[in-house]
Amino acid sequence: MKRIINTFLVIILPTLSIFSQTTPGNIGTTNGDSELVLWLKSSELANSLKLGQPCLLWKDLSGYEHNLYSTENDAPVWDNDLLSNFPAVHFEGNEYLQMENTSSAFSPTESTIFTVTSGLHEGTTISISEKFWLNEMLFFEKGVYHHSSSGNFTRSSIACVEDRLPHQISVSCGVFGRTTQDVRYIFNGIVSTNPLETAGSPWNFDEVDRKVTLGQRDQFVNSEFYQGYIYEVIVYNRKLNPQEILAVQEYLQCSYNLENEQCTNFGEVDCTTVTIPSFNCNYILRAGPVPTVDWLYIHLENSTIESEAIPYQIYNVIGQKMQEGVLPSQEQALQVNQLKSGIYLLVLQQCDQEIVQKFIVDK
């Protein structure tokens, strides 16, 4: 969470380890033999990619090796979402990632799926299907679908999803059972109370092997590509109970500094014992005061800094570069009196990555 300490805004950036837990909410294992059948975490891509490179392979952390692949022409980009301060896989409306084959680990007729995203909530975030649109568990736009075949489905939705701003990170959860009426959508802690919508003549799920597609469905349709960022995907091949769902939600809430804003109902959670990790470098970045007028004081704590000189840029919120230079040391004062009042992004270049910190000028 954001914390003010001695007038400095402290951000602990994401790392490779997952606080004291070995799996989300301590549910399942990473041995490839538990109910945790897929775990994709964008920060782990730091081991194989540099920011801005296409994501041709997103490795599964569950132990099942349910890796997702794409091609040079169809791959989303591993990027840094400047407004959220977290790395993510960026889909721009014509990219996808997909398992090469179906897997029996997805054959149960029950599932609990979590996605962490930001964007316009348009298109397909994730599809888990037998083939094409058959026996499909689907996250599409502002709801989740218990999808039997083309035109035959039930849908659970939450109206306020459309109130979320594109830069706000959201946690979506879909809980699927065998029967057509057994589907439930949970969005940022809000449980859908809307009546299920039914189209056509859906039927109960069959126990069949399935595969996962991100950013599109197995039957590709141009209008159904996803636009936005995906930070994390977690899939269990059973229905989690409410306490287990809450445990995973709290893990994600702490991991991504989520607070109650539009269309949220997060409970209080003590994240003080949680270490939110960073990719290859365990940075703690302090920049303040908040707000500032003339000077921005920067302190970057890390024992593995690669060099004393650290390149930096300052951008406004529409992406215009306002200032750049080199910090000669880990502790430095930047003069920002030429900036107008507003919100800015300080970008530091280290460890083949960009570390991003918001700050405010108020004159």
pLDDT, tens digit (0-9, with 9 covering 90-100), for 267-276: 888 775 543 4
The mean pLDDT of the chain is: 84
Question: How many CA within 13 A on the CB side of residue 302?
Answer: 25
Task: Parse the chain into domains and list their residue ranges.
Answer: 18-255, 284-361
Residue 138 predicted with pLDDT over 70:
yes
Residue 93 predicted with pLDDT over 70:
yes
6 or 31: which leads in pLDDT:
31
- Asked if domains 18-255 and 284-361 share a fold, the reply is no
Average pLDDT over residues 83-112: 92
- What pLDDT score does 170 carry? 95
pLDDT, tens digit (0-9, with 9 covering 90-100), for 173-195: 999 999 999 999 999 999 999 99
Asked if 212 and 68 touch (Cβ cutoff 8 Å), the reply is yes
CB atoms within 10 A of CB 232: 26
Top mean pLDDT of 295-299, 316-320, 333-337 is at 333-337
303 or 104: which leads in pLDDT:
104
Please choose, from the candidates 232, 241, 115, 107, the residue with its C-alpha nearest in 3D space to the C-alpha of residue 174.
115
Question: How many CA within 13 A on the CB side of residue 107?
Answer: 8
- What pLDDT score does 278 carry? 43
292 or 3: which leads in pLDDT:
292
Q: Which residue has the tokens 């909530």?
A: 121
Asked if 18 and 296 touch (Cβ cutoff 8 Å), the reply is no
Fold annotation for 18-255: Jelly Rolls (2.60.120)
Beta bridge partners of 170: 117
Listed in sequence order, the residues at least 6 apart from 184 whose beta carbon sits closer than 8 Å to its beta carbon are 144, 156, 174, 175, 191, 192
Average pLDDT over residues 337-356: 78
Residue 255 predicted with pLDDT over 70:
yes
CATH superfamily, domain at 284-361 = Macroglobulin (MG2) domain (2.60.40.1930)
Strand, coil or helix: 105: helix
Give the global pTM.
Answer: 0.73
Q: Which residue has the tokens 């959508």?
A: 185
What one-character DSSP code corresponds to residue 257? T
150 or 220: which leads in pLDDT:
150
Q: Which helix (H) or strand (E) holds 327?
A: strand 321-327
pLDDT category, 222, cuts 50, 70, 90?
confident
pLDDT, tens digit (0-9, with 9 covering 90-100), for 262-304: 999 998 887 755 434 343 444 556 677 878 888 888 876 553 4
